[in-house]
Amino acid sequence: MAQRKAVIVGASSGIGFEVARLLLTQGWQLGVAARRQEPLLQLKALAPDRVEVMTIDITQPDAEQRLFDLIDRLGGMDLYFHASGIGKQNRTLEPNVELRTVETNALGFTRMIGAAYRYFATKYSQPTSQASRERAIIAAITSIAGTKGLGPAPAYSATKALQANYLEALEQQAHQRHLPIHFLDIRPGFVDTALLSGDFPYPMLMQPEVVARDIVESICKLRNVRIIDWRYRFLTFFWRLIPRCLWRNIKI
């Protein structure tokens, strides 16, 4: 995959930042984007000739055009990796928390994933050589929280379910349109990032560097759905088996 081109939205911290660093070590050219520019410039400093930077707020209407501008500056795109998102426990259902979560994880996600899909659809609808029709990749971080409705974080778990279903729907559409786009739904468990900052002691906490290595491996192996790690694969398997009448009585 050396010399391939990836755009990472949400590259300023946590998993997105670590995935960007790993892809650079593998020879990728990167377009990195986030609301904050300073961490993106740290990535550019690692490989100034292979990194393009763009500030993008996915909740804003101009985000799609800014993404296309970044792709143009990069000279194309083979992988779109969406690492942008927010989440917070909201046991008292504060409206500003719920609405901001939906704005970012639902509206912003749909805006950016849709833009990446339309870019690839346009690219592959034009006459191209066989060599240039390598499979494109759209990868996104969803969450195990989308497996069931989680009472402590209603908007977060609901929007993560939306994200997983949206990727699955686009995968079906792309297949029926004969578009060579591969989709990767990445579902981490609890990761030690700013997203989980606070006093709550999260169990089975993983380090972003470990999660990033798993993600890059999953991209290279063209996996479809990746739950990270084995403990969360075991946990979510049993979550799915719990009927609703019992689920509502489980304390989380």
pLDDT (tens digit per residue) in 85-141: 998 889 999 999 999 999 999 999 999 999 999 999 999 987 654 445 578 999 999
Q: What tens digit of pLDDT does each residue of 56-93 get?
A: 999 999 999 999 999 999 999 999 999 999 988 899 99
State the Cα–Cα distance between residues 13 and 18, nearest whole angstrom: 8
Domains of the chain: which residue ranges? Answer: 5-247
| Residue with the larger pLDDT of the pair 213 and 199 | 213
Q: What tens digit of pLDDT does each residue of 33-53 get?
A: 999 999 999 999 999 999 999
Cα 123 to chain centroid, rounded: 22
State the Cα–Cα distance between residues 185 and 206, nearest whole angstrom: 18
| Class of residue 163 by CB neighbours under 10 A (exposed 0-12, middle 13-18, buried 19+) | buried
Separation of first and last alpha carbons in the chain: 41
Which CATH number is 5-247 given?
3.40.50.720
